[in-house]
Structure 1
Amino acid sequence: MDLSFLFPKQTVSGLVKDWLKEDIPSFDYGGVIVGEDIKTAHLLGKQHGYFSGRLFVQEIFDELKCKVEWFIKDGEEIKYQDGKPHLLATVVGPVRNILIGERLSLNIISRSCGITTRGKTLNLKVRKEFPDWKGKIAGTRKTTPGFRLVEKYALLVAGLDSHRMDLSSMIMLKDNHIWSCGNITNAVKNARTVGGFTLKIEVECRSQVEAIEAIEAGADVVMLDNFKPEDHKPVSNFLKTKYPHVIIELSGGITSDTILQYITNDVDIISMGNLTQGVPHIDISLKIQKQ
């Protein structure tokens, strides 16, 4: 499945135009220095990981009238071995245009590949230990403003769930919503009034009692927040047994080191903010070739 088809052409084009305008708001001093001779550049992977973000780089160089030949697809392994970089793509075009797109492209794919690498590595680890688990690992809305689509896409390439895209995608009732409405029941009732039948309602719960109240008020998803592994298991089992139609999500403080302790067949979703926060970038460079 080609996940790049998720993006309408105008969406990616609009992002790229904004990024280019941000990076060159006035004069292109470097362009004057190097001119418009046709050059070839190599996009090089200099660290092991998993690749993503190809469509964004393609759009950047399309906009800059450069041709790109790709040797890797999103989701494939970046094979960096014995100090030898992995040739990911070649870019051909006016040298000043290549250099306009250089840092922008590297910033995007280095971060995108970093998120995909962390996500895919984690997913492989979980599936190896729990091959029969039907649940999904998901990101959160802890994303970079203006860069969310890239980060959510990188999660999907990793084989993870992107979770809700924005505040309009699903109604999630967290502690501040509940305190503002007085209780969970009132909050869910208000949510159903405005969300109708098309939007799922999720409620953040700190105890089994709160989860039961949320479900009986009409919640579709309950998030057991900041539960320890030994504490969530009896609660998850009780809820899934009594309310099998409800989606059970775990979140809060779960890391790559602790996730295996949380996996049970009663859990449908494990969401983690650190899939998009504090993620190391993958080392990628773009080098003009001497002729």
Structure 2
Amino acid sequence: MDFSSLLTPLHLSSLAASYLTEDIPAGIDVGGHVVTSRKGSANLYLKEEGVFAGRPFVDAVFAAVGCTVSWSAAAGAGQRSDGGSFTQLPAREGERYEYAGVPIRLATVEGPLDQILRGERTALCILSRCSGVATAARKLSELAHTEPWGGRVAGTRKTTPGFRLVEKYGLLVGGADTHRLDLSHMVMLKDNHIWAAGSIAGAVAKARSACGFSTKIEVECNGLGEAREAAGAGADVVMLDNLDGGRTREAAKALKKDFPHLIVEVSGGVTMTNIREYVDENVDIISCGALTQGYKCLDFSLKVNR
């Protein structure tokens, strides 16, 4: 599915400008002076197996420096500018590309050479990280759905400051839920909120008085007792946090029996190797912070055509 229409051009332009400013804070690029502003082109290569994601951000970065990106649309083989060979494939976000030792050409960037190189590292950093999130999200989702399951795998709000939108977008492209996008997107009451408020019921009531009927309230719970209290107080979602698989399934079953419309989320300690322990008909969401915190970046490169 194409998620690029979710991203507004104004916000993309603003993000691209902030990333480029961070990379050239003084506004002087001696390397760009060396290559001059003559027109040229460079090819973008994927050099590792994984799910491709981040295209709208790359378009925005190169647009900000006055360059254009043409994404590959036909299959074939050819030669790289450094004399090596490449495979050319359609550049589709969400596609998992297999790597057999030969780089995959996904796009060509055209414009002044100094501007291409000014946007190069920023664009590659975005691609490698967004694709890394998408690849991890795809793998965890597929593991969870090895056997039929009606729930969803989700990320968390454990994102890199300043890079939240890129990582959340990678989750979507990879086939996972973004969870809440920010603090305003959904109310989540964690242990510190509850301790400060005095009780789960008091915290939920105070939150409801402020957010109204249109916003969901989720409560982080350490066991069935806390989850029952949260559901009884009117929480829409309960998170069973840091329970093992057996306790999770028992608690989820008991909650669904008494609160059939309650959304049950499981989080804490979920990994690629143990996620199947938490998959259950009574579990709606399995969230994992590692999808946006500790993911492996994919290898991309940009080579100027000689």
**TM-score (norm: length of structure 2):** 0.92
1:120 aligned to 138, 141, 144, which one?
138
Aligned to 2:113: 95
Could you tell me how far 1:274 is from its partner in structure 2? 0.4
Matched, 1:61 2:41: no
- For residues 197-240 of structure 1, what are the alpha-carbon distances to aligned partners after superposition, in whole Å with 9 as ceiling and x for unaligned? 11101001111111111111110000001010011111100111
Structure 1: how far apart are the matches of 2:191 and 2:167? 26
* C-alpha distance in structure 2 between counterparts of 1:130 and 1:3, whole Å: 27
2:86 equivalent to 1:85: no
Aligned residue for 2:298, secondary structure, equals coil
Instruction: Measure, in 2, the Cα distance between the counterparts of 1:80 and 1:211.
Output: 46
8 Å contact from structure 1 (residues 203, 219) kept in 2? yes
Tell me which residue corresponds to 2:281.
Answer: 265
Cα-to-partner distance string for 1:34-93 (whole Å, 9 max, x where unaligned):
101221211000100010000000111112221211120210123321x21000101111
* Aligned 1:178-189 pairs, distance under 5 A: 178-189=194-205
Q: Following superposition of structure 1 onto structure 2, how do residues 142-181 of structure 1 map, counting pairs within 5 Å?
A: 142-181=158-197
Aligned to 1:220: 236
Write the distance in 1 (CA, Å) between the matches of 2:31 and 2:97.
30
Question: After TM superposition, which residue ranges in structure 1, 4 or more long, deviate above 4 angstroms?
Answer: none
Determine the structure 1 residue equivalent to 2:38.
37
C-alpha separation between the residues in 1 aligned to 2:122 and 2:95?
22
Q: Distance in 2 between matches of 1:135 and 1:77?
A: 22
Q: How does 1:2-13 map to 2 (within 5 A)?
A: 2-13=2-13
Q: How many residues align?
A: 287
Matched residue of 2:207: which SS? helix
2:162 is paired with a residue whose SS is coil
TM-superposed CA distance for 1:280, in Å, is 1.1
| Partner secondary structure for residue 202 of structure 1 | strand
Aligned to 1:110: 128
Structure 2 residue aligned with 1:206: 222
CA contact (8 A) 1:45 1:79 kept: no
Q: For residues 201 and 265 of structure 1, what CA distance do their matches in structure 2 show?
A: 22
SS in 1 for 2:62: helix
> 3-state SS of the aligned residue for 2:177?
coil
Identity of aligned residues (%): 50
Name the amino acid aligned to 1:218: G
1:130 pairs with one of 141, 147, 151: 147
Please state how far the C-alpha of 1:97 moved relative to its aligned partner: 0.6
TM-score (structure 1 length as normaliser): 0.97
AA partner of residue 89 (structure 1): A
- Aligned CA RMSD, in angstroms, stands at 0.9
For residues 186 and 143 of structure 2, the distance between their equivalents in structure 1, rounded to whole angstroms, comes to 29
Is residue 48 of structure 2 the alignment partner of residue 47 of structure 1? yes
Work out whether 1:28 is the aligned partner of 2:29. yes
- Once the two structures are superposed, what CA deviation does each residue of 1:92-123 show, in whole Å capped at 9, x if it has no partner? 11110110010000110000111101111221
Contact in 1 for aligned 2:266/2:285 (Cα 8 Å): yes
Residues 155 and 179, structure 2, Cα contact 8 Å, conserved in 1: yes
Contact 2:143 2:272 in 1 (8 A): no
